[in-house]
């Protein structure tokens, strides 16, 4: 397991190489997902209320993530048998089958490498999300307190936005695709020279030469 020179990984870093044990067998991250995006999300513990609602919410959108060629991987410091019993409980009582793997990190090595153990929260992993692209590069890191569940629709939106930005060389406005100024349009990167700046307002819809947008 590769650590980032004694620090936790940051946006733009390669996701640390690690071999993990999951409810679906061993997994090598990030190499097993080369060519696909993946989301690793940690939760404080199995059989906890907020985490249970999150797992159901992730599974309800699993097909949407798959369409984006994006895999899901859960994580906590619980043992694998606890994970198995928990997903059985979810299936039996909530009628939702969890189809993505959950990492068992009972020794805490993965959590330590990713900076997921809060010193004031005991041994439980914090509620975090790592969005990783097809090259194993961390594109976003989100942290949540134990009392606030994640908005899974926002995580879907982020993956869609990253993929569109990568393909088209554009940026996403606030609340995209329902921005208050430009709707579902995307933002053109600001001009880097005078000549391009002069052409911008003729080529795109612009509020000024540095704030132009277009439809995909």
Q: Could you list the active site residues?
A: 51
Cα angle 45, 48, 51; round to 5: 75
Q: Counting every residue, how long is the chain? A: 216
Contact indicator for 204, 186 with CB cutoff of 8 Å: no
- The three-state secondary structure class of 14 is strand
- In whole angstroms, give the CA distance from residue 87 to residue 126: 20
Task: Please report which helix (H) or strand (E) contains residue 111, including its range.
Answer: helix 109-114
From residue 6, give the alpha-carbon distance in Å to each of 115, 140, 209: 10, 20, 44
The torsion angles phi and psi of 207, rounded to 5 degrees, stand at -85, -30
- In whole angstroms, give the CA distance from residue 116 to residue 32: 22
Q: How far is CA 137 from the centre of its chain?
A: 12
The neighbour count for residue 124, using CB atoms within 10 Å, is 19
């Amino acid at each position: 397991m590769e650590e980032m020179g004694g620090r936790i990984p940051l946006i733009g870093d390669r996701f640390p190489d690690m071999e993990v044990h999951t409810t679906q067998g061993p997994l090598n991250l990030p190499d097993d997902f080369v060519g696909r995006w993946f989301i690793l999300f940690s939760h404080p513990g199995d059989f906890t209320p907020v985490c249970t609602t999150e797992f159901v919410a992730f599974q309800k959108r699993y097909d949407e993530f798959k369409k984006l060629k994006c895999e899901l991987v859960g994580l906590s410091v619980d043992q694998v048998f606890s994970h198995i019993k928990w997903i059985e409980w979810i299936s039996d009582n909530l009628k939702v089958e969890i189809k993505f793997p959950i990492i068992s990190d009972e020794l805490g090595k993965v959590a330590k490498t990713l900076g997921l153990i809060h010193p004031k929260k005991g041994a439980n992993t914090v509620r975090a999300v790592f969005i990783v692209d097809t090259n194993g590069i961390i594109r976003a890191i989100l942290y949540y307190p134990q009392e606030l569940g994640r908005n899974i629709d926002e995580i879907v939106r982020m993956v869609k936005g990253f993929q569109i930005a990568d393909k088209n060389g554009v940026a996403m406005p606030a609340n995209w695709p329902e921005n208050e100024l430009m709707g579902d349009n995307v933002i053109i990167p600001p001009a880097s020279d005078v000549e391009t700046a002069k052409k911008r307002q003729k080529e795109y819809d612009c509020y000024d030469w540095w704030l132009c947008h277009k439809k995909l």
